[in-house]
Amino acid sequence: MSQHPPNSSVSHLRIPDDRAGQRLDNFLMSQLKGVPRSRIYRIIRSGEVRVNKKRARQTYRLEAGDQVRVPPVRTAERGQAPVSRELGGRLADSLLYQDDELLIYNKPAGLAVHGGSGIQVGLIETLRSLYPDTTGLELAHRLDRDTSGCIMVTRERPFLRRLQKLMNQGGVTKRYWLLCHDFPATHTSVEASLEKGGRGGERIMHVAEDGKSARTDFRLLERFESLALVEATLVTGRTHQIRVHAQHGGFPLLGDPKYGDAERDRPWQQAGVRRLCLHARSLAFRHPDHGGFLQVEAPLDEAMNRALELAREAAAT
């Protein structure tokens, strides 16, 4: 299989065994270096990309032996934005765990996990730039742009498939810390199906009976009058799940521009809280290769710690 299809003519690529299970859009990102994700989505939607001579969705999971037609595509006019020394340094400092197959980072709030939708460089593009000799870097899962904390990046496709299988089977425990308004008890579970919607091109999730099943378990860690520090454990892993379930349960997250309560957030914003108060605190699982138990915790960043300090100060007055 050609690793870099020429931009001047159509290429037909046969999918090898080690690419089986990869999404079509991610496969094309690895082949069309420098082409923005938005452009790749367009050529898939237009039918210029074909799988076994048929149209395919960007989410299609490739199978070994599939034939993928890749049209001639010019790279972005401005090219990929250079990775700043500051961002590279921040990521180097945020590495929580590494071995021959896996990297776990404490992703900064405000950094998208990948480029697209007007974002030229995300976490994965930055890491590929920092480690050009490691050609198989892939995200194992995702975090919202404004969520900080633990995110896993794999070095090779076969390990990625094993890790994702483990996640799909519930073998990875993901816990998040959040600040929210009016948490109702010491423990509560929200089980409500979710489906995607949209308004003005913005992706929004909402509770719907015919949506995909979803459950989040919430546990009180610390209460500060109207605010609370809460731990959320994902039983399922839907888009924006914690944020929507918190809103549905009547305890919206502090600083959430999509699902929060702007009126109740206002005095905290004026006091200096400028971020979504959601942090992927820890991951725990048995390593797919050697079977050893692995638990990784991500420290809170300065902004999240400051929000906690303000909540404690307000409760003490």
Tens-digit pLDDT profile for residues 188-205? 999 999 998 866 556 789
Phi/psi of residue 192, each to 5°? -150, 125
Please identify, in words, the CATH class of the domain defined by 170-316: alpha beta
Confidence of residue 78 (pLDDT cuts 50, 70, 90): very low
Terminus-to-terminus CA distance in the chain, angstroms? 66
What average pLDDT does the segment 13-19 reach? 87
Tens-digit pLDDT profile for residues 242-279? 999 999 999 999 999 999 999 999 999 999 999 999 99
Tens-digit pLDDT profile for residues 169-194? 999 999 999 999 999 999 999 999 99
Give the distance from CA 307 to its chain's centroid. 23
- Give the number of residues written for the chain: 317
Phi/psi of residue 277, each to 5°? -90, 70
- Give the pLDDT confidence score for residue 3 in this predicted structure: 46
Active site residues: 144
What average pLDDT does the segment 101-126 reach? 83
Which single residue is written with the structure tokens 């870099």? Answer: 4
The CA distance from 222 to 243, in Å, is: 19
User: 118: number of CA atoms within 13 Å, CB side?
Assistant: 3
For the chain, give the percent of residues with pLDDT over 90. Answer: 63
**Fold observed for domain 11-70:** 3.10.290
Q: Write down the domain spans for the chain.
A: 11-70, 85-166, 170-316
Confidence of residue 157 (pLDDT cuts 50, 70, 90): confident
- Give the pLDDT confidence score for residue 33 in this predicted structure: 72
Do 11-70 and 85-166 come out as alike in CATH topology?
no
The CA distance from 20 to 3, in Å, is: 16
The answer to whether domain 85-166 has CATH 3.30.2350.10 is: yes
Q: For residue 180, what are the contacts with CB-CB under 8 A and spacing of at least 6?
A: 227, 228, 230, 246, 251, 252, 253, 254, 277
